[in-house]
Structure 1
């Protein structure tokens, strides 16, 4: 009885052992939860076999020279960078300004 009361008063037994159990138990728990998370991501990434075959064919058929030829055919001299509206601006008003500017140039 005397030893039990002495153990209850001991700070290591009272605070240290529960803290160690929390840390060690938490690491095992987190390992299980993260394993579930990564398994779920693997299942979401799986594609239908027919769709996956199409994606792989498209990836393999891209040739750098063909893409270069497509870029040469594009008219980049007359290309214009148009800024979109800011979040605080009214998008309809901004679109009307862009349209009126375009009409003035034409």
Structure 2
């Protein structure tokens, strides 16, 4: 068995730098990407996905609307008549300025 390893080692030493350094690097990168994919998938497999119970939300003081009452069309109708072209730029206070106003 040691003769096989010596033969492989001498073969690798005789080859170019690409075989000696490049091929193991590429194998490491490809295998590493597949390994990382599996570990990243665990995050999505075991994350908590719970629906919010409306009764429990009401106990906590969160007012929930019924599903289907808010649609894209209804929200568009609310903001359709807003005047977005006449506005005034108001500068916010900076941390280093005193609030004298």
* TM-score, structure 1 normalization: 0.47
Structure holding more helix per residue? 1
* TM-score, structure 2 normalization: 0.48
